[in-house]
């Protein structure tokens, strides 16, 4: 088959690209290794219970700010019902619960109660970031990359708020730690922010570019955090619907094993079962390591390109616990997303983000139950070939993760009705994310 565009990978990014192109009447094919689209975002069922696979705290559906999902669904003219979380999330830090309210001032007050000596600086920090965000991201939102943004429009925005733009651009070349050092002194507050960048940018304060951290610190509040009503299945499902309604093809259970080139230009793909597809354009949504390491014949890339890909630092491998528990062990004031900080000074396996999405969406499980998805880092070696040893290790990991949750929700360990663990190997198997690094390469300075 010959297409205008072949999209390799049917996760959120691949489906988004394919649906926008199909809507513009290009002939599109999506090739996905798994039996259903969605990648890290979607569901699986166990009996009557619906589990979200992964991505479930979704940004970008708001009315104000940088709202990429909203932009896409508007462009697709496809309605989607989303539930806005009252609280973005809640961070359990050194025995305190820090609630992330949508209202930034209210959140700044909450944080100041934990770090009273920094009260003024905290308010100043968030006010400065909001102003910059308002000027740069809200007034002229751009959904194209810098090199594809119309120069005239970019110049107009720059001239309207030159100071904010200069500040924003200066944040490209400095670390999040340097940015914070302009405002704060308390080392404990640095540890708190380190947890935020480590969890949501997968990079420490030293590693994360200030620009990424600055946007992340306020964007979540302004835009809000959302959950697709009925489960995250509706997000990839709606994108797939647009692709199919516009004549696009979905090739499921089909892995691309090579990208073919003609006269130095990508011209098609080869599938694991021997089929080939051709197209004028190829979009790839997997990892850089697989692209340069597996899919493109090394004779067609330079040593520099391959070295660049190899040099990308992976984010940490993750494990995920999926459980059903008695509803009675979860206190009424629990947030749908709770981050449990183990050691404030470092990332270790006692750090877990727990998603209790049935707090917001009661269709996911029985009336007297809650679903729990708990994700955290794993520094174990999961490569054992012996299936029995692997299963035993999974069982131990399940007990360990339940133990971590028990500390936040006493009684949970004896209230578990069902539990299952995905290891870094499981994640790699289902998403082709090397080593189970769910966030791919670290987004580091430089």
Q: Which is nearer to ligand FAD, 128 or 428 (CB)?
A: 428
210 neighbors 171 (Cβ within 8 angstroms): yes
94 neighbors 339 (Cβ within 8 angstroms): no
Q: Which is nearer to ligand FAD, 184 or 289 (CB)?
A: 289
Q: Which is nearer to ligand FAD, 224 or 286 (CB)?
A: 286
Task: Locate the DSSP E strands across 47-127.
Answer: 49-52, 82-84, 87-93, 96-101
Residue 17's closest CA among 32, 6, 3, 1? Answer: 6
Q: Give the single-character DSSP code of 291.
A: I
247 neighbors 5 (Cβ within 8 angstroms): no
Measured from the Cβ of residue 216, the count of other Cβ atoms closer than 10 Å reads 17
Q: Which is nearer to ligand FAD, 14 or 266 (CB)?
A: 14
31 neighbors 39 (Cβ within 8 angstroms): no
- Min. distance of Cβ 306 from ligand FAD in angstroms? 17
What's CA 263's distance to the chain center, in Å? 37
- Min. distance of Cβ 444 from ligand FAD in angstroms? 17
Q: For the chain, what is the largest distance between any 2 Cα atoms, rounded to a whole number of angstroms?
A: 66
324 neighbors 371 (Cβ within 8 angstroms): yes
Measured from the Cβ of residue 162, the count of other Cβ atoms closer than 10 Å reads 11
Instruction: List contacts with ligand FAD (CB under 6 A).
Output: 8-14, 31-34, 39-41, 54-58, 255-256, 285-286, 320, 375, 427, 431-433, 438
250: phi then psi, degrees, rounded to nearest 5:
-110, 120
Q: Which is nearer to ligand FAD, 244 or 428 (CB)?
A: 428
Q: Which is nearer to ligand FAD, 140 or 301 (CB)?
A: 301
- Min. distance of Cβ 413 from ligand FAD in angstroms? 22
- Min. distance of Cβ 393 from ligand FAD in angstroms? 19
- Min. distance of Cβ 323 from ligand FAD in angstroms? 14
- Min. distance of Cβ 206 from ligand FAD in angstroms? 23
- Min. distance of Cβ 292 from ligand FAD in angstroms? 13
- Min. distance of Cβ 293 from ligand FAD in angstroms? 11
HSE value, Cβ hemisphere, 13 Å, CA-based, for 203: 24
HSE value, Cβ hemisphere, 13 Å, CA-based, for 243: 26
Q: Which is nearer to ligand FAD, 54 or 435 (CB)?
A: 54
Cα gap 79→94, rounded to integer Å: 42
Q: Which is nearer to ligand FAD, 233 or 375 (CB)?
A: 375
Q: Considering just the CA atoms, what is the radius of gyration of the chain in Å? A: 22
Helix (H) / strand (E) element for 373: namely: strand 369-377
- Min. distance of Cβ 187 from ligand FAD in angstroms? 29
Cα gap 266→34, rounded to integer Å: 23
- Min. distance of Cβ 100 from ligand FAD in angstroms? 14
List, edge to edge, every strand of the sheet that includes 265-271.
249-251, 28-31, 2-8, 276-284, 265-271, 256-262
Nearest residue to the partner ligand FAD, using Cβ:
11
Q: Which is nearer to ligand FAD, 13 or 305 (CB)?
A: 13
Q: Which is nearer to ligand FAD, 39 or 377 (CB)?
A: 39
Please report where in the chains the tokens 């090394």 appear, as a residue: 298
């Amino acid at each position: 088959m010959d297409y205008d565009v072949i999209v390799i990978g049917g996760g959120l990014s691949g489906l988004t690209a394919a649906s926008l192109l199909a809507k513009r009447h290009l002939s599109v094919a999506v090739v996905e290794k798994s039996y259903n689209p969605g990648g890290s975002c979607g569901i699986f069922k166990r009996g009557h219970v619906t589990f979200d696979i992964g991505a479930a705290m979704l940004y970008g559906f708001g009315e104000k700010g940088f709202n990429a999902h909203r932009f896409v669904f508007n462009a697709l003219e496809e309605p989607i019902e989303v539930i806005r979380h009252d609280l973005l999330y809640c961070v359990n830090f050194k025995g305190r619960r820090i609630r992330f309210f949508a209202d930034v001032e209210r959140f700044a007050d909450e944080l100041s109660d934990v770090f009273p000596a920094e009260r003024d600086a905290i308010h100043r920090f968030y006010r400065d970031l909001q102003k910059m965000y308002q000027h740069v991201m809200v007034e002229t939102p751009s959904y194209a990359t810098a090199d594809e943004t119309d120069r005239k429009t970019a110049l107009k925005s720059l001239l309207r708020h030159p100071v904010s733009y200069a500040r924003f651009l200066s944040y490209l070349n400095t670390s999040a730690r340097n940015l914070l050092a302009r405002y704060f002194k308390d080392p404990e507050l640095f540890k708190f922010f380190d947890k935020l960048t480590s969890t949501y940018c997968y990079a420490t304060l030293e590693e994360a570019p200030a620009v990424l951290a600055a946007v992340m610190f306020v964007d979540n509040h302004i835009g809000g955090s959302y959950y697709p009503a009925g489960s995250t299945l509706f997000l990839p499902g709606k994108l797939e619907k647009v692709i199919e309604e516009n004549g696009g093809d979905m090739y499921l259970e089909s892995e691309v094993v090579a990208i073919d080139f003609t006269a130095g230009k990508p011209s098609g793909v080869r599938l694991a079962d021997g089929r080939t597809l051709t197209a004028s354009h190829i979009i790839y949504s997997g990892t850089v390591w697989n692209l340069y390491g597996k899919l493109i014949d090394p004779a067609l890339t330079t040593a520099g390109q391959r070295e660049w890909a190899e040099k990308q630092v992976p984010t940490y491998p993750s494990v995920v616990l999926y459980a059903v528990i008695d509803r009675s062990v979860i206190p009424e004031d629990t947030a749908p997303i709770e981050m449990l900080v183990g050691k404030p000074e470092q990332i270790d396996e006692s750090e877990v983000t727990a998603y209790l999405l049935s707090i917001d969406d009661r269709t996911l499980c029985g009336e007297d139950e809650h679903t729990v998805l708990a994700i955290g880092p794993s520094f174990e070696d999961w490569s054992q070939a012996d299936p029995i040893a692997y299963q035993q290790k999974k069982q131990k990991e399940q007990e360990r993760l339940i133990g971590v949750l028990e500390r936040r929700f006493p009684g949970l360990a004896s209230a578990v009705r069902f539990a299952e663990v995905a290891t870094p190997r499981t994640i790699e198997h289902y998403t082709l994310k090397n080593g189970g690094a769910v966030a791919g390469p670290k987004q580091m300075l430089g």
